[in-house]
């Protein structure tokens, strides 16, 4: 009886020790993952949102945080690093954040896609259906001068290669609604759900 009781006590003690030590043992002995450079990590995370080849120029850090009041921000890379006027900046969720509007030697200014001064050539739904994107402040932007309005709601919007410095096929967002544009002959589409473009860990991709 005493021997059985001792074995039971030992079993309980061993179980408690194992339960306490298991998390530490797991993290200590688990296989270490190979370290990948930041661009490769971005490529894997963003591949689902890109129609273009995943070949960004570089990763840059945001100097001044973008917000709905300024609709612009600065990055810590400039002409010395290969940044070009009109280049596209994406956040770490794979969405176009803005366009380079000024380039200095070691820094650049970026106007977000919600900035009314931003004029970005895009295509909506299909590469032949082009338009011009401009911001509306806050979390919204619109694409005007669209020729074909057929079933555009929820269709993706991608950058077009109107400028030689602008990467084609980068994901901008989805169409929320379509209406007749200001010209009266072309159509305009709203991209009103752009709150996620502000989500960044402080790093952005430069294209």
Q: 3-state SS of 178-196?
A: EEECCCCCCEEEEECCCHH
Query: Token pair of 104, please?
Result: 């200095």
Residue predicted with more confidence, 66 or 114: 114
42-56, 107-121, 171-185, 190-204 — most confident range: 107-121
| Residue 43 pLDDT class (50, 70, 90 cuts) | low
Fold of 37-207: Thrombin, subunit H (2.40.10)
Number of neighbours of residue 174 by Cβ within 10 angstroms: 17
Q: Are 98 and 118 in contact (CB under 8 A)?
A: yes
Residue predicted with more confidence, 20 or 94: 94
Beta bridge partners of 100: 110
Beta bridge partners of 112: 98
Q: What share of the chain is helix, strand, coil (3-state, %, to 5)?
A: 25, 30, 45
Residue 27 has pLDDT above 60, yes or no: no
Please tell me the predicted confidence (pLDDT) of residue 76.
95
What is the rounded distance in angstroms from the CA atom of residue 184 to the CA atom of residue 90?
32
Residue 14 has pLDDT above 80, yes or no: no
Number of neighbours of residue 81 by Cβ within 10 angstroms: 17
Number of neighbours of residue 20 by Cβ within 10 angstroms: 9
Residue 40 has pLDDT above 50, yes or no: yes
Query: DSSP 3-state assignment of 143?
Result: strand
Beta bridge partners of 102: 109
Of 145, 170, 147, which is closest to residue 157 (Cα–Cα)? 170
Query: Token pair of 152, please?
Result: 């555009």
Name the residue ranges covered by the structural domains of the chain.
1-32, 37-207
Residue predicted with more confidence, 14 or 152: 152
Please tell me the predicted confidence (pLDDT) of residue 82.
94
What is the rounded distance in angstroms from the CA atom of residue 91 to the CA atom of residue 71?
14
Query: Token pair of 68, please?
Result: 């709905």
State pLDDT tens for residues 132-143. 999 988 789 999
Write down the pTM of the prediction. 0.72
Please tell me the predicted confidence (pLDDT) of residue 161.
76
> Across the chain, what does the average pLDDT equal?
80
Please tell me the predicted confidence (pLDDT) of residue 204.
92
| Residue 127 pLDDT class (50, 70, 90 cuts) | confident
Please tell me the predicted confidence (pLDDT) of residue 198.
77
Residue 22 has pLDDT above 70, yes or no: no
Beta bridge partners of 120: 133
What is the rounded distance in angstroms from the CA atom of residue 192 to the CA atom of residue 62?
24
* 120, 124, 128, 134: CA torsion to nearest 10: -20
Query: Token pair of 6, please?
Result: 């001792």
């Amino acid at each position: 009886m005493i021997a059985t009781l001792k074995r039971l006590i030992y079993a309980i003690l061993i179980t408690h020790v194992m339960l306490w030590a298991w998390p530490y043992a797991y993290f200590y002995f688990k296989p270490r993952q190979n370290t990948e450079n930041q661009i490769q990590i971005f490529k894997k995370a963003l591949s689902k949102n890109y129609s273009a080849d995943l070949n960004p120029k570089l990763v840059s850090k945001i100097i001044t945080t973008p917000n709905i009041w300024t609709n612009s921000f600065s990055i810590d890379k400039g002409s010395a690093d290969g940044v070009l006027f009109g280049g596209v900046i994406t956040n770490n969720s794979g969405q176009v954040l803005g366009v380079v509007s000024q380039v200095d030697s070691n820094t650049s200014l970026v106007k977000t896609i919600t900035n009314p001064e931003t004029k970005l050539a895009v295509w909506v739904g299909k590469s032949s259906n082009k338009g011009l994107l401009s911001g509306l402040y806050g979390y919204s932007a619109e694409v005007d001068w669209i020729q074909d309005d057929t079933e555009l709601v929820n269709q993706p919007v991608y950058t077009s290669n109107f400028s030689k410095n602008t990467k084609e096929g980068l994901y901008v967002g989805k169409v929320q609604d379509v209406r007749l544009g200001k010209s009266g002959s072309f159509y305009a589409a709203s991209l009103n759900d752009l709150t996620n473009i502000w989500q960044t860990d402080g790093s952005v991709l430069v294209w």
